[in-house]
């Protein structure tokens, strides 16, 4: 997406360097529009180097492409950080005496501002009135925070941290197409105990399922995340007021938790890697070598959880299965997935190729998404969050006719 970052003349401009980095890192095309005053704090080459786009403050540059309005027209989001009292006043009055001003007047995209000024200026009735005007116009405001200000003062007026501004900005770019939709997601890998210290497990980190939960919540869903043995750092991405985490260990616990979560869910996503077999006997005491010989471990099959969920599917519920395959070709991958989709009866099957070096524990993923006729409805490759976006797009599409009923 195209994001314009307006930077105005406050000391907090140095923090917007990090903001621009975060937005570029999130995959967006960022154009920085500083005011002349802002360039006294951070120079033009810094903004150009970080954004990989040309930077100017003047409405008279690039006139052939009507840059003074083109930037605003082409923007999907405009962020002003820091927004000084002066720029806030100019925005409220609609003054367009620089490139940032014309860009703001020419845009129909959402606008987010991060005010930064001294506490007295923030509290001044003029600023209060201007902020009120901007709010009424639908401008989004993040901060200011209370804390230490330039010159040793403290109070309200400090620009919030760049991470918080980036989060607010990215939230504005996320569609709210799952508003109020209940989604149950399983993630991670189950562990089937042999004795109190050993288990049969798998290499699933839970990252893909956690990314699905986080992206669904960002799009407005109310999520139950059934988390099988996911480490705290991976689970941290799922910290969101609309995500309830239910930790589980074994396939049996995961089956119970998903059965509960599925009761009132419109979408059920089985991203967890579930053990197909578990030890027939779990020893109360640690198995030792004292008995002599190599123990033979008898296994019994675990119930197919997703098949159980499909057999109890509510009217209008979309059920999504995952498959990790080790095929020799793309044709074989899709063919195996097609058979699995038919066998499991899921509405959507997300299939990815895994191997010693691929899929598990890594940050990226590449998937094919099959519809209920076994056809490939989408493919996606990228970060696990990007793959989550594609899976949720497919869920939104599958839910659409069911929600209209």
The piece of 140-148, 167-175, 269-277, 354-362 that touches ligand CTP (CB under 6 A) is 269-277
Q: Kindly state whether residue 306 participates in binding ligand CTP, applying the rule CB under 6 A.
A: yes
Binding residue for ligand CTP, selected from 37, 62, 304, 372, defined by CB under 6 A = 304
What's the longest Cα–Cα distance across the chain? 87
Contact 79, 19 (CB under 8 A): yes
Residue 78, both tokens: 């405009």
* Minimum CB distance to ligand CTP smaller for 77 or for 254: 254
Q: Kindly state whether residue 270 participates in binding ligand CTP, applying the rule CB under 6 A.
A: yes
The piece of 17-25, 151-159, 215-223, 301-309 that touches ligand CTP (CB under 6 A) is 301-309
How far CA 76 is from CA of 3, 26, 28, 67, 108, in Å, comes to 6, 14, 10, 16, 8
The piece of 109-117, 163-171, 240-248, 319-327 that touches ligand CTP (CB under 6 A) is 319-327
* Minimum CB distance to ligand CTP smaller for 85 or for 212: 212
Which residues belong to the active site?
202
Q: Kindly state whether residue 305 participates in binding ligand CTP, applying the rule CB under 6 A.
A: yes
Residue 103, both tokens: 């860009």
Binding residue for ligand CTP, selected from 322, 337, 369, 399, defined by CB under 6 A = 322
Q: Kindly state whether residue 276 participates in binding ligand CTP, applying the rule CB under 6 A.
A: yes
The piece of 108-116, 128-136, 299-307, 392-400 that touches ligand CTP (CB under 6 A) is 299-307
Contact 276, 225 (CB under 8 A): no
Sheet containing 111-115, strands listed edge to edge, beginning at the edge strand earlier in sequence: 29-34, 2-7, 77-83, 111-115, 140-141
Least separation, in Å, of the C-beta of 305 and ligand CTP? 3
Q: Minimal CA–CA distance to 169: which of 109, 216, 116, 217?
A: 109
Contact 74, 85 (CB under 8 A): no
Q: Kindly state whether residue 214 participates in binding ligand CTP, applying the rule CB under 6 A.
A: no
Least separation, in Å, of the C-beta of 333 and ligand CTP? 12
Q: Minimal CA–CA distance to 238: which of 274, 188, 301, 165?
A: 188
Which residues, including other chains, have CB under 8 Å from residue 232's CB and lie 6 or more apart? Answer: none
Chain residues that interact with ligand CTP, rule: CB under 6 A: 251, 270, 272, 274, 276, 302, 304-306, 321-324
């Amino acid at each position: 997406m195209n994001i314009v970052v307006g930077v105005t003349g406050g000391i907090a401009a140095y923090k917007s360097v990090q903001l621009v980095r975060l937005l570029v890192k999130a995959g967006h095309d960022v154009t920085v529009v500083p005011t002349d005053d802002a360039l006294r704090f951070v120079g033009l080459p810094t903004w150009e180097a970080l954004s990989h786009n040309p930077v100017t403050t003047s409405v008279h540059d690039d006139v052939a492409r009507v840059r003074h309005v083109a930037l605003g027209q082409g923007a999907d989001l405009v962020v002003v950080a820091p927004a000084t009292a002066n720029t806030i006043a100019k925005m409220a009055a609609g003054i367009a005496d620089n490139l940032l001003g014309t860009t703001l007047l020419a845009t129909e995209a959402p606008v987010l501002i991060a005010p930064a000024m001294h506490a007295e200026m923030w509290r001044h009735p003029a600023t209060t009135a201007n902020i009120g005007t901007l709010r009424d116009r639908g401008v989004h405001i993040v901060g200011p925070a209370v804390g230490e200000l330039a010159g040793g003062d403290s109070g309200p007026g400090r620009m919030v941290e760049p991470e918080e501004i980036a989060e607010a900005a990215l939230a504005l770019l996320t569609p709210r197409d799952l508003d109020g939709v209940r989604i149950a997601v399983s993630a991670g890998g189950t562990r089937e105990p042999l004795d109190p210290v050993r288990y049969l497990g798998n290499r699933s980190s839970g990252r893909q399922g956690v990314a699905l939960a986080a992206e669904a919540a960002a799009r407005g869903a109310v999520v139950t995340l059934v988390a099988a043995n996911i480490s705290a750092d991976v689970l941290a991405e799922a910290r969101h007021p609309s995500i309830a985490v239910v930790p589980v260990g074994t396939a049996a616990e995961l089956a119970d938790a998903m059965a509960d979560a599925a009761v009132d869910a419109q979408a059920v996503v089985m991203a967890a890697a579930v053990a197909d077999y578990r030890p027939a006997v779990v020893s109360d005491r640690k198995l030792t070598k004292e008995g002599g010989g190599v123990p033979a471990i008898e296994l019994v099959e675990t119930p197919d959880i997703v098949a159980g969920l499909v057999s109890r599917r509510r009217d209008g519920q979309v059920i999504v299965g995952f498959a990790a395959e080790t095929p020799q070709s793309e044709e074989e991958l899709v063919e195996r997935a097609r058979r699995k989709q038919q066998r499991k009866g899921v509405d959507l099957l997300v299939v990815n190729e895994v191997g010693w070096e691929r899929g598990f524990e890594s940050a990226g993923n590449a998937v094919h998404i099959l519809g209920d006729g076994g056809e490939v409805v989408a493919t996606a490759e990228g970060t696990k969050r990007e793959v989550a976006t594609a899976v949720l797009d497919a869920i939104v599409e599958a839910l659409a006719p069911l929600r209209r009923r």
